[in-house]
Structure 1
C-alpha cells in the first residue's frame, strides 16, 4: 500500500515568505481519510490534485495554510528556473517602449518574484488572460491558493480575491507567468508585449462577476488600470468567454497571435481548461466581435476545468 510524505506550507503574513514543515509519512488509509474529510461540505477545506506529480494532492485550508501529500515513490518534482532575462521588475530592464507599471500598488508580493523571463512575441500586442482558481474565495484562501500555485509552479503574475478585493503578485507584469501550457513550440506564457495573467479566486461554473460591483472594488480597478497603462484595449478578440462546462471555445491561433485585448484561459490555443466561465464583459470591460472567430477543427474544443 502506498505511503505519503506529509508537510504543511505556511505563508508568513508579514513577510510573505514560505516555510515548509515536514511532518513525516502516513498510510494510504490516512491520506484517503484526510481527502474524504476535506471534501465534506462546510469543513473550510478544499482538495486539489497536483497537476504535475501523479498521486500527489494538497488541501487548501481556510486558515491560509496548505497541507501537502506526496506518494513516497513519486518522481521528484522539479520547478524549472525562469531562464535568462528573469528579473524583479527593475525599470531599466523593461522592454523598449514600455508604458505600464511592473507592480500594482498595494499588491502583496508572494514568493521570489522571479517566475518568468522576457516576452517572445511583443509584436502580438498586450493582453490580459483571465483564469479562475477553482477554489473558494474569501477567508484566508487568498494565502492558501497562493501557496498552492507556488508549490505546483503555475503562478500567474496576479492573484485576485473578488470577495475581499485583495490582490497579490508573483512577479512583475512585464515578464512572463507560468499559468498556461505551451502551444507546441510556441510559448503561450510569453505571447504579447505583456501577457498579464490574472487568477481570480472562484469557479468557472459560477462566474465571479455575478453580483460583483466594481465601483466598490478599488483593487480590481487597479488591475484594469495597469492593463490599460500597458496598452491592453477594452476588447475580447476571441469573443465572450464561453460558459462552463457546456460552452465551446474556438482557440484560434490566428486571433491569439495577432490581436491584443482580454482573453479567457478557455480561448488560448494549446490549452484545454474552461475557466473562467461566462464572466460578464461589462465588468471586465471590452467589446466582443459580433461574429466570434472560428478556429480549425483541431482548435475548437469543449471546455473543461
Structure 2
C-alpha cells in the first residue's frame, strides 16, 4: 500500500490494509494515510468554500495549536470513558474543586496540579460530572444497548481511489451492516442535529468510512450516529445515513474528486494562493436587483 509520510505525526508506522485493533491514538496518528477530518477540511476550504490551497495548508500546519474547546474536550472525555475506560486516568485529570485562582495560593496549587498531570487534558469538577451524566444516559438508553454490548473501537486502513486512507471507527462489529459513531451535542433533536451534521460534514465522514469498508470487502450499508446532549437531562438520539442516500452519493463524489487534488498538492508541496485576475462572481440575488433597475430580463 502507498504511504504519505508527511501525513504521519512522528515516525511513520507502516502497517498494511485491514482492520487494526488495539492501536493507541499515538500509533494511529503515525499511520501515513489520509484521514477523513483532513480530507473533509480540504473539501470545506478549497472545493466547497472556494478557498485556495495555501489557506488549507495554514490550517493543516496549525491544526493542533491552541486549547480544545469545551465541546471538544467533553466529547473526547466521553469517548474515552465509554470506548477506552481503562485509559481515562492516563489521558484526563480532574482539577481540585474549590481552588480560588484569584489568590496566589490557589494559582500555586493549580500550577502544581497541572505540572503533576503534564500531557493530560484537564477537566473541571463540573465537566467531570457532565461527562459521567452523559455516560449514564447512554448506558440506560434502551435503543442503543446492543451497540455498547457488541461493538468496539477499531481502525480501518485501505486504499480509496488508489490513495492510502485510514479511519478510527468508534463502534465496529463484524456482525452488523452498521458502523456507529458517538457524538455529543447541545441539541440532539432531528432538526438541530441534521443542521449541525450537514455543517460539520458528517455525511462526508460517513461516506469515507463506508468506502474504507468497501475497499476491505466488508459489507456495511449504513452509518449511524449515537448522539447524547451535553446538558441536562442528557437526552439520547440515534440517526442513520444509508449508503444509497442522496447525501451519501454527493459525499462520495466529493471524496472521489478531492483525493487526486489533495495528493497532488501534498506530493509536490505546492500551495498556491488565489488565481490571477478573474471576473467578480456576484451573488445570485444581485440579478434580481439589476433586472428591477434596468427593466430588462437576464
- Bigger helix share: 2
Higher relative contact order (CA 8 A, sep 6+): 2
TM-score range (shorter-chain normalised) is: under 0.3
- Bigger strand share: 1
User: What TM-score, normalized to structure 2?
Assistant: 0.25
Q: Which has the larger radius of gyration?
A: 2
